[in-house]
Amino acid sequence: MQIKKQTVPVLLFNDECGVCRSIAHWVQKSAQVKTGETRMIVRPIGEDPEELQSLHPGLDIWDAYATIHLLMPDGSMRLGGEAVAAVLRNLPSTRWFTWMFAIDVFGFRPFQAILNLAYAILAEVRPIFGCESCGTPGPWVRPIRWVVKSVASIFGESHQPVPSPHFTALPAKGRSPQTHPI
Amino acid sequence: MPGYKSNDRIQTVTASTFDRLVLKGEGPIAVEFMSYGCAHCRVIEPVLQQVAEMVESTEKIFRVNIGVERELADLYQIQGTPTLIMFLDGAEVGRDEGPSPIESNILNLVSQPYMS
């Protein structure tokens, strides 16, 4: 398998998640520099495990959907909060404050730890915003999601009952999963 | 298409191989209709791998990625993922939508339709 070499970092995002798509759209816009070049490639994870592995041999499509992945030009891979820090470091509008993520106090990086925690919380609450592909909501998220769905149904957003709690129903129109341009 | 990991025990079938591997395949065959973007499929995957290993001498388990194989999903009226369909001699003999990701449950699901 031929590995595609990149000269800028590649951010993978979950195209089936509205929150992820919005963030990816913002990153893509922010990564543009005046010369027309981009500081980062933003691409959906997609459905082809082989194609993903052509970007990085250690890239697992299941893992890519479970947590944010950033593929660095040097061949390394950043995950979770570390990936978020690397993304911010590469964006012209945010890199000015990213020095703080490198602050090291006796082997502990407090600001990076806060970022890791913030990412973990965001990853947990994504299902609240209707992302069925972001993971099964944790016990503390389920009541909040139930409230959000109930409120949405009051305003006319219908939710089809599913035969099992372990089932992701496909949209009624066009059963195949949709892909959205960012 | 090879699996995503070298030790993948579940072969991916496509529209072009479905007929040969599933409909004309020998013995009991279970097919998981799934999508990589489906969180429930992600949860069930390691369990299904274990079950595939347990039954490999008697039964085959395949996956169909409905993100790619939309026609197969429509043909088998897949309403969501994961959906397990059990085949014998080309005919559907059992189906379960959103199976609970417990090993004994999955093992039961993929072997029950063939017990007589």
Domain assignment present for B48:
yes
* Domains identified in chain B, total number: 1
Instruction: Select from A45, A48, A133 the Cβ nearest to the Cβ of B38.
Output: A133
* DSSP state for residue A38 in the 8-state scheme: B
What is the widest separation between alpha-carbon atoms in chain A? 55
ipTM here = 0.84
Domain around B62: 11-114
DSSP string, A88-149: HHHSTTTGGGGGGGG--BTTB-HHHHHHHHHHHHHHHHGGGGT-TTS-PPPTTTHHHHHHHH
Summarised one tens digit per residue, pLDDT across range B47-85 is 999 999 999 999 999 999 999 999 999 999 999 999 999
With respect to residue B2, please indicate whether it lies within any of the assigned structural domains.
Answer: no
pTM of the predicted protein model = 0.82
Point out the residue among A62, A163, A164 whose CB comes nearest to the CB of B4.
A62
Cβ count within 10 A of residue A166 = 22
| Domain residue ranges of chain A, discontinuous segments joined by + | 1-167
Please tell me the distance in Å from A174's CA to the nearest CA on chain B.
9
Q: In angstroms, what separates the C-alpha of A117 from chain B's closest C-alpha?
A: 21
Q: Which of residues 54-93 of B touch A (CB under 8 A)?
A: 65-68, 70, 73-74, 78-82
Tens-digit pLDDT profile for residues A16-46 = 888 889 999 999 999 998 888 999 999 999 9
Q: In CATH, what number is assigned to the domain containing residue B108? A: 3.40.30.10
Burial grade of A31 (CB within 10 A; 0-12, 13-18, 19 or more): buried
CA nearest B46 in A: which residue? A62
pLDDT of residue B54: 95
| φ and ψ of B61, to 5 deg | -120, 130
Q: What does the DSSP 8-state code read for residue A48?
A: -
